[in-house]
Amino acid sequence: MGLYIEDFEMGRVDYSPGRTITETDIVMYSWVSGDTNPMHTDAEFAKSSAIGQRLAHGTLGMSVVTGLSARMGFLDGTAIAALGVDEWKFLAPIFIGDTVTLRTTVVDARVSSSKPDRGVLIRRMDLINQNGHLTQTGLMRTMVRSRSTAEAES
C-alpha cells in the first residue's frame, strides 16, 4: 500500500530509478499520439536540423514522469485521481539513449477540510538526464486517500 496524504512531509525529496529512452519508445509514442513530426520520426531530416538528431516528444517526457512516479510506489492504492499539471516547462531535449531520473519534491500535502477522507498532494516533478541536466519540470496535483479512510475500512 502506498502512502496516505498525512505521510507526505513538506520538502520531502525522492528519486526514481533511471529509465533509458529508446527509439522504440519514440516510434510507439508517435503512433499512439499521432504526432509524426519528422524531428521525432525522420533521422535524415533531424540530422539536418538545428538540433542535429531526433528527439523524444516533450509529452513523451511527461508520460515518462508519470511512469517513473508510479514506479516509486508512493501512491500505490492511495491515489484517487490526477487533478492537474501546472507550470510545466520543457527545458532541454531528450534524445534516444538518454537515461532520465525523476526527482520529486513535496510542495504541499493537506487533508481536505470538506472531505476528510482525502487530500491534495502537490509535487514538483523534475526530469533529469544522465548528465544532471534538468529537461522538464512542473507541478503535479494528485488527490490522495487520507489515513481516516483506511481506519474507517478497518
Question: Domains in the chain, please, with CATH?
Answer: 5-21+56-153 (3.10.129.10)
Asked if residues 70 and 28 have their Cβ atoms less than 8 Å apart, the reply is no
**For residue 16, what pLDDT band results from cuts at 50, 70 and 90?**
very high
**pLDDT band at residue 149 under the 50/70/90 scheme:** low
- The Cα–Cα gap between 147 and 150 comes to 5
| Residues contacting 27, CB < 8 A, separation 6+ | 41
Q: Express each pLDDT in 117-142 by its tens digit.
A: 999 999 999 999 999 999 999 999 99
Cα–Cα distance for residue pair 149/147, rounded to 1 Å: 5
Q: Which residues contact 109 (CB under 8 A, 6 or more apart)?
A: 5, 6, 8, 9, 10, 119, 120, 121, 122, 144
Q: Is the pTM of this model over 0.85?
A: yes
Greater confidence (70 vs 1) lies with: 70
What's residue 154's pLDDT?
A: 57
On the question of pLDDT at 86 being above 70, the answer is yes
pLDDT on residue 31: 95
Question: Residue 152: is its pLDDT beyond 80?
Answer: no
Instruction: Indicate the average pLDDT of the chain.
Output: 95
Q: For residues 136 and 9, what is the distance between their CA atoms, to the nearest angstrom?
A: 23
| pLDDT surpassing 90 at residue 51 | yes
Residue 137's pLDDT is 98
According to the model, what pLDDT value does residue 100 have?
Answer: 98
User: Which 3 state secondary structure label does DSSP give 16?
Assistant: coil
Query: Which residue reads 534524445 in cell numbers?
Result: 95
pLDDT cut 90: percent of the chain above it:
94
Quote the pLDDT of residue 1: 86
CA-CA distances (angstroms) from residue 108 to 72, 127, 151?
18, 19, 23
